[in-house]
């Protein structure tokens, strides 16, 4: 009885592994996983694969840390080789993702570059296909989120251009480059956000791009279904990633995620299984959908 009670307590969704109270902290963009306290849990010690992506090749942007690293770990343990897209300033974090993919017995390819530039996106896809042999799964995950502002007028033109070109432009460029290589059975997975449905005024440029990602997902899914390619999205709520410590003030970090019905933020490891599901044949009759992982906050 005691063992069963202990197991039930460990399954309590109000609790996350390795998620003590969050102390106030802040980093300069782009933020680094290695400098966060506590360190995020990407599933390094917990994710167990079942060969659902055996011999697939995935390209994951923003895979140096956060949700992207958790996806890369899960995909590798499910049997996929992984191309890791990242900004050059985040190479140390990307090297750690590379190590974890290789530790799972799969090939890891590091491809640095700024996805707001179309030529970078074309190169990302080209190198993935040339060096890993094919492309089966594209995960458009990388994003820029500027610091929270008090007034709309503080979001200037330079920031708007960077946010739109990274979050929306990069998705367009990568998808356009990837589609000629995607065979029937391939999958595109986009990272949206609860901000697509409940936009925070303090990061309205970011929230706007996440709404665009939902629209893009639903529209593209209709076209490429005839090619046997599926397109879906995941809409996270609050997740403990470097994006947070480089965009929110320290006092907001301390309460981050407490507004959710489950009363906490997610660890990146808790999102990765949804991406595995959407990439695998387990979801072969699903396209044009958005999976909300929000701790109970409603989408829509």
pLDDT tens sequence across 66-116: 999 999 999 999 999 999 999 998 899 999 999 999 999 999 999 999 999
DSSP state, residue 256: T
Mean pLDDT for all residues in the chain: 91
Q: CATH classification of 51-293 is 3.50.50.60, yes or no? A: no
What number of other Cβ atoms are within 10 A of residue 153's Cβ?
A: 7
pLDDT band at 20 (very low <50, low <70, confident <90, very high): low
User: In terms of Cα–Cα distance, which of 177, 183, 284, 278 is closest to 224?
Assistant: 183
Check 47, 197, 206, 275 and give the catalytic one: 206
Let me know if 206 is a catalytic residue: yes
Extents of the domains making up the chain = 51-293
**d(C-alpha 300, C-alpha 127), whole Å:** 38
User: In terms of Cα–Cα distance, which of 50, 42, 150 is closest to 99?
Assistant: 42
Contact 178, 138 (CB under 8 A): yes
Q: Is the pLDDT of residue 21 over 70?
A: no
Instruction: Label the pairing between strands 57-61 and 137-140.
Output: parallel
pLDDT tens sequence across 26-56: 667 776 676 675 778 899 999 999 999 999 9
**d(C-alpha 142, C-alpha 3), whole Å:** 41
Q: Is the pLDDT of residue 1 over 80?
A: no
Q: What is the pTM of this model?
A: 0.90
Q: What token pair was written down for 292?
A: 């909300």
Instruction: Tell me the chain's radius of gyration from C-alpha atoms.
Output: 18
pLDDT tens sequence across 204-258: 999 999 999 999 999 999 999 999 999 999 999 999 887 777 667 777 887 788 8
pLDDT tens sequence across 161-182: 999 999 999 999 999 999 999 9
What number of other Cβ atoms are within 10 A of residue 283's Cβ?
A: 18
């Amino acid at each position: 009885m005691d063992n069963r009670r202990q197991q039930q307590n460990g399954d309590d969704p109000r609790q996350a592994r390795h998620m003590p109270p969050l102390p106030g902290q802040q980093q300069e963009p782009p933020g680094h996983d290695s400098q966060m306290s506590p360190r995020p849990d990407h599933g390094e010690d917990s994710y167990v694969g079942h060969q659902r992506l055996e011999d697939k090749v995935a390209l994951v942007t923003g895979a140096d840390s956060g949700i992207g690293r958790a996806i890369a770990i899960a995909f590798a343990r499910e049997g996929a080789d992984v191309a890791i897209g990242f900004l050059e300033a985040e190479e140390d974090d990307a090297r750690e993702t590379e190590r974890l993919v290789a530790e799972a017995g799969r090939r890891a390819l590091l491809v640095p570059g700024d996805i707001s530039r179309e030529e970078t996106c074309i190169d990302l896809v080209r190198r993935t296909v040339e060096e890993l042999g094919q492309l089966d799964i594209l995960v458009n995950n990388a994003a820029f989120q500027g610091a929270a502002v008090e007034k709309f007028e503080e979001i200037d033109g330079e920031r708007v251009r960077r946010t739109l070109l990274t979050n929306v432009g990069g998705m367009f460029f990568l998808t356009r480059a990837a589609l000629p290589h995607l065979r029937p059975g391939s999958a595109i997975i986009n990272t949206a956000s609860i901000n697509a449905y409940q936009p925070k005024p303090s990061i309205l440029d970011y929230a706007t791009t996440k709404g665009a990602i939902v629209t893009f997902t639903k529209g593209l899914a209709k076209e490429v279904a005839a090619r046997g390619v599926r397109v879906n999205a995941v809409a996270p709520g609050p997740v403990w990633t470097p994006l947070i410590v480089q965009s929110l003030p320290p006092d907001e970090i301390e309460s981050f995620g407490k507004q959710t019905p489950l009363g906490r933020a997610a660890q990146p490891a808790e999102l990765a299984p949804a991406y595995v599901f959407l990439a695998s044949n387990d979801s072969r009759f699903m396209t044009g959908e958005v999976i909300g992982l929000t701790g109970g906050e409603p989408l829509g």
